[in-house]
Amino acid sequence: MAELHELTIHEAASGLRAGEFSSEELTRAVLDRIERVEPRVQAYIAVDADRALAMAREADERLRAEGESAPALCGIPLALKDNLCTTDFPTTCASKILRDFRPPYDAHVVERLRAAGAVLLGKTNMDEFAMGSSTENSGLHPTANPWDLERIPGGSSGGSAAAVAACEALGALGSDTGGSIRQPAALCGVVGMKPTYGRVSRYGLVAFGSSLDQIGPITRDVEDCAILLDAISGHDERDSTSAPVDVPDFRSFLNQDVRGMKIGIPKEYFAEGMDAEVARAMDESRTAFESLGAELVDVSLPHTDYAVATYYLVATAEASSNLARYDGAQYGHRAEGTENIIDMFSRTRREGFGDEVKRRIMLGTYVLSAGFYDAYYLKALKVRTLIKRDFERAYEKVDAILTPTSPTPAFRKGEKMDDPLHMYLSDIYTISTNLAGIPGVSVPAAVSTDGLPIGLQLMAPNFEEGRLLRAAHAFEREAQVHATLARL
């Protein structure tokens, strides 16, 4: 039998209801695991063991009172990316400018997890303000990939993915603006989903790119992904972009076969630049889906070549606006000994922001400035519409689209830090999903000859997360790719 910290959410939920162990015992086991491996992984920014154990004891009382009717997440130890507002933990976005900031309210998804009786272990590390693909841009410390501690875990939700992969949490929440859930999930050998834009409320998510950001689950398997997605989905009137659509029981899509499902293979995603091991994994994945009875269909997404440029114009423009509020006037870091308010604004932002955040603010401010707005930002919005239409046309022929999640397995720390453009290309397969607003999920597909995970990505039309879970679960059972973290 697996040790308690190695259990999936659904295994732990079953054990809790059967009385095999308590939430307090489960939480202690995970906290012990954190104590053992966290010095090497550094997945967390903050952990509060006493508070977690108190929440676990409350969950045990609820489980005794409600039994089988208790929510699926009751008593389950989870982690939160540190750009989700929490009243009982600081919310830093891994930035010096928010080092000691404690929000006066919880994010909507945090409210839902508390209502479900989940145990909140702490806040996970990330690229500063979610700007990065490796978690090396954290203003506090880098995070290691549990499969190889000399490699990056992906980003920006690298701390959440590493915590789940290292068994330092049974599941976690991340945010995804251009691949920040799916890419680290792929590199850490776990499951990560970006829901449809509007499926999950962004209330209490510290904004990076408001038209792109979406909160989603990172878990060890697809069933856990469905459980966590069930808990956080739904309309929230406090978020004007939250969609008033019904939320299905996402677990009901599991164990449905994919016979007859049409899966698109976009030729633009299988061009030059893909690592040979990733290409091999994709070949094997296509074979697996064919053996499951799915029909593979060639499709074209002709504006894919423009996606990276479009994304880094739209996202940085929105970031420059969203981050204007961090100026030392109301909260967060304030520079000392300044001569006047302009000096205070300037020095506060210079001291508080890291290099990557400054780079994106400057780029975004530039493309929004007079004389450049039409040439860059407005043109990017038009291309974004064309990218969205590409997907709409493809979905007239297919039910879902299959691509790699990342062009390479996890790379070594420092390998791309001096080449921002090379780093940006790490998101080449994931950013179109955010530009189009559609859902996407990354599932472990293979392990490289170096012992590193490789993920595949499935994308579907708006609000068809159930279709993704159906296909991902079928593939997961067929491929039988499981994480083995022997080095830890």
What pLDDT, on a 0 to 100 scale, did the predictor assign at position 353? 97
What pLDDT, on a 0 to 100 scale, did the predictor assign at position 442? 98
What pLDDT, on a 0 to 100 scale, did the predictor assign at position 268? 95
**How many whole angstroms separate alpha carbon 56 and alpha carbon 35?**
18
**How many whole angstroms separate alpha carbon 417 and alpha carbon 411?**
11
Boundaries of every domain in the chain: 4-254+475-479
Annotated catalytic residue 442: no
Annotated catalytic residue 156: yes
Q: Considering 133, 160, 175, 180, which one is annotated as catalytic?
A: 180
State the pairing for strand pair 440-447/191-194: antiparallel
- Structurally, at CATH architecture level, domain 4-254+475-479 sits in Alpha-Beta Complex (3.90)
| 289 phi/psi in degrees, rounded to 5 | -65, -35
CA neighbor of 130 nearest in space, from 82, 170, 163, 166: 82
**How many whole angstroms separate alpha carbon 168 and alpha carbon 35?**
9
For the chain, which ranges sit under pLDDT 50?
A: 486
Rg over CA atoms, the chain: 21
Annotated catalytic residue 358: no
What pLDDT, on a 0 to 100 scale, did the predictor assign at position 425? 83
**How many whole angstroms separate alpha carbon 63 and alpha carbon 7?**
18
Burial 294-303 (b: 16+ CB within 10 A, else e): bebeebebeb
Q: Considering 81, 123, 413, 416, which one is annotated as catalytic?
A: 81
What pLDDT, on a 0 to 100 scale, did the predictor assign at position 389? 98
Q: Considering 23, 95, 134, 156, which one is annotated as catalytic?
A: 156
What pLDDT, on a 0 to 100 scale, did the predictor assign at position 482? 63
What pLDDT, on a 0 to 100 scale, did the predictor assign at position 486? 40
In the chain, pLDDT over 70 holds for what percent of residues? Answer: 98
Q: Distance of CA 343 to CAs 118, 339, 413, 456, Å?
A: 45, 6, 36, 48
What pLDDT, on a 0 to 100 scale, did the predictor assign at position 314? 98
Token readout for 239 is 């978020």
Residue 239 makes CB contacts below 8 A (sequence gap 6+) with 108, 201, 202, 203
| 185 phi/psi in degrees, rounded to 5 | -60, -45
What pLDDT, on a 0 to 100 scale, did the predictor assign at position 7? 97
Burial 10-34 (b: 16+ CB within 10 A, else e): bbbbebbbeeebbbbebbbbbbebb
pTM over 0.95: yes
